[in-house]
Structure 1
């Protein structure tokens, strides 16, 4: 048995191609299926089955499209309500994928109908645990609504033990979430591989002997998750279509200017340093290429009912289109180019100050507010003395709570603060972008709250 990992670090997820040298199974495919197709071609195998561990909440699946395109059986839990044809599979059922035996194991917790797949090939065994048992943690249990959270958390505890009965301790473990995904209920270990037995010794779902304590602790540590999740379940149950990943024809200067004048969502993909120095007034800064920040935070605050326009280099626009398709933001328009004055001659351009911690200490008058746009739990753990906290994902709705006058805005790394600064300017405020790591603030001499 060979397992090929298709990593999507932008969302903190992994898909898998499992094969015996001839026949293959795909598990939890991302929407941009060309990466799976390429992996299958490189391995010289035929994909006969595509499987979903659950109806995903953090990305749009490519499983249905792949199965339809390649004539593969599409394994989805028989208990899930979906609007497309699938090959229903239930707890305890097995299918053959060439010489591989694939067994479905009910592991509710992350969702009600979550399945794990135990794949055997002779003496070798692998467990594909989806959003169940992760590396050092488990999938979060609050995505289906508060009224289900406690019950699903009990289910997650029991499901981990069921999985331990169904697979050997030596079985390699391959979760879908837990690599930065908000679908994880807690911090994963950062491991790149593990076995089920290693999790017995290290994962709190196994090491905590008190189920009630485990449930209380997990629920108490659940934090906010991106608002785009609300769109993912319905999209996946309804049957996603194939994503169009092509770069559209570039907008004319007149049309780009008109969109800015109308206050539409026009996102500048350039580096935040370049944006702060010179940008089209009314655009929003979402630097492309900063790990998973772009997809996560744009998806978190973008109003899905609106048209999105991307501005940047052709490579950045092309990559952004791919990333956004994974969370159901389809067919954005684009203005390809990096010089604001050439993209829209005559349109208003703007800039704002950008500093590090030393610049804040040197130049900020004591009566000018500091705005911290990190998440609530980050702020509670540690923050600057006197800082005001409005998380980035709440900033648009809570703009009236931002103190008047010039605002010095920071986050954990500088990325979210760059987005926030552009939103503040767009709303008529005067931001100063503090582009610095919060971990360095105390050493730089900033007073911390006690």
Structure 2
């Protein structure tokens, strides 16, 4: 029997600030990534009114499968055993989405009953992708929450450009209409639970807050306070770069579930580590940037687990490059593995645990200096000759920058090394993590570096950015 013909292409719909948060992670100095509130009481159990009740003899509807919003490009969604290994229950997904795994198609407006008290309504909310879904939750006849995924976020919306420029204009307008639909169909007291929060590159502009409701979003979200043209113009002007590994996620998610191999990689001795480094492979030290700068294996790179490890490693590594992980403990390596499989880096080539002396095999450890913006000011006024490299994103640079600095965003550094002038290089970002990553990268290639491990707020306070007063409050930026 011949397969059914593909659905006809949908016609395009009729046409009808970047604001940074000052909240910081006290451990890493990087962006604070809040976890959304849970619909749970003590012990992680949902409140009684949100727990399904079942009549005697009535068949229970399973609720332990994941909801599929779209073939999302940020992370792999099915890094778990496939449907066959989970009792054969197919996952639900948008009816028009072409995927290669078993699923239960759902459609806009469909209601899924969960026991006698809970009802979940499917809402098609295109904008982040064409097939994006939101889910409105009703308990005991009361609309209590909506799971908005990459549609309506706290103070913003999901970005519409991840599928490429050919889709951006259609999706940005669809995103505005989707946000309006959610606001029109749901009561003001409905709690909003998005997939993406502060620090997510899937956010069109910087998401803010730890919790919200439809009513709050009506008052503060540009998608709900501005007309369509103003929203489109502001959102598109605020888009910045996103991690390169996103390009691999859509196809992998559409390909279906796969069980990751999280067993420990083979252990590399110092001789093997040196061979891998000399061969151009990536040997990544997972320790924090302070420990790495004090002493590390020459040629190794640093992506500490205390920051946005997987985001920047996945963004910078040439896809397919063999990767070896160095951690103080086997647990550190295992944590890194769990993060890496979520972006499609399934198996490290090797690992080693202990400390740099164990990994170097008697060879001299490499090291470089760390400094503050106060140290930088002294060096600038003292007449020292050096290159100041700013590795923040374009929008951060626009808000405030140190005159005379060279600007190369972190994700562009590996491909633009020849543009960095000769001489000593001081590297800064907004909080220290990205500067540490780039300093390690440059040092591995023989450059003399100083990593500025400090908050950019201090550069403003020290008067290193004379143009800062002509912009909005520059402290509202991601401190990473």
TM value normalised by structure 2: 0.81
2:131 is aligned, of 90, 95, 113, to: 113
CA contact (8 A) 1:111 1:144 kept: yes
Q: Larger relative CO (CA 8 A, sep 6+): 1 or 2?
A: 2
Cα deviation, residue 373, structure 1: 0.8
Matched, 1:394 2:412: yes
In structure 2, the partner of 1:143 is 162
Aligned pairs for 1:75-154 (under 5 A) are: 75-99=92-116, 100-125=118-143, 126-154=145-173
1:235 is aligned, of 241, 245, 252, to: 252
CA contact (8 A) 1:10 1:323 kept: no
In structure 2, the partner of 1:311 is 326
SS in 2 for 1:327: coil
Cα deviation, residue 312, structure 1: 1.4
Aligned pairs for 1:23-38 (under 5 A) are: none
In structure 1, the partner of 2:474 is none
CA contact (8 A) 1:412 1:436 kept: yes
Q: Would the alpha carbon gap of residues 187 and 212 (structure 1) be closer, same or farther in structure 2, given more than 3 Å must change?
A: same
In structure 2, the partner of 1:384 is 402
Q: Deviations over 1:307-354 (max 9, x none)?
A: 111111123212111112221111214433342222231445311122
Task: List alignment gaps of at least 5 residues for structure 1.
Answer: 1-8, 25-44
CA contact (8 A) 2:82 2:258 kept: no
Matched, 1:275 2:292: yes
Stretch deviating more after TM superposition (136-145 or 97-106): 97-106
SS in 1 for 2:121: strand
Q: Deviations over 1:30-77 (max 9, x none)?
A: xxxxxxxxxxxxxxx963543112221111103774755433341110
Distance 2:125 2:355 in 1: 52
Cα deviation, residue 423, structure 1: 0.9
Cα deviation, residue 247, structure 1: 2.9
Stretch deviating more after TM superposition (264-273 or 236-245): 236-245
Q: Would the alpha carbon gap of residues 170 and 446 (structure 1) be closer, same or farther in structure 2, given more than 3 Å must change?
A: closer
Q: Deviations over 1:252-283 (max 9, x none)?
A: 22211211221210001112112112111110
Stretch deviating more after TM superposition (420-429 or 93-102): 93-102
Q: Would the alpha carbon gap of residues 183 and 11 (structure 1) be closer, same or farther in structure 2, given more than 3 Å must change?
A: farther
Q: Would the alpha carbon gap of residues 201 and 173 (structure 1) be closer, same or farther in structure 2, given more than 3 Å must change?
A: same
In structure 2, the partner of 1:5 is none
Q: Would the alpha carbon gap of residues 129 and 183 (structure 1) be closer, same or farther in structure 2, given more than 3 Å must change?
A: same
Q: Deviations over 1:166-206 (max 9, x none)?
A: 3222222111112321111112222x222222211221111
CA contact (8 A) 1:60 1:326 kept: yes
Distance 1:204 1:401 in 2: 39
In structure 1, the partner of 2:174 is 155
Matched, 1:58 2:74: yes
- Across the two proteins, how many residue pairs are aligned to each other? 418
Matched, 1:330 2:346: yes
Q: Would the alpha carbon gap of residues 263 and 175 (structure 1) be closer, same or farther in structure 2, given more than 3 Å must change?
A: same
RMSD of aligned residue pairs (Cα, Å): 2.5
CA contact (8 A) 1:372 1:409 kept: yes
TM value normalised by structure 1: 0.86
Q: Would the alpha carbon gap of residues 182 and 313 (structure 1) be closer, same or farther in structure 2, given more than 3 Å must change?
A: same
CA contact (8 A) 2:326 2:333 kept: yes
Distance 2:370 2:136 in 1: 52
Matched, 1:250 2:280: no
SS in 2 for 1:50: coil
Cα deviation, residue 428, structure 1: 2.1
Distance 1:97 1:76 in 2: 17
Q: Would the alpha carbon gap of residues 91 and 333 (structure 1) be closer, same or farther in structure 2, given more than 3 Å must change?
A: same
In structure 2, the partner of 1:186 is 205
In structure 2, the partner of 1:36 is none
SS in 1 for 2:260: coil
Cα deviation, residue 439, structure 1: 1.2
Cα deviation, residue 304, structure 1: 2.0
1:298 is aligned, of 307, 310, 313, to: 313
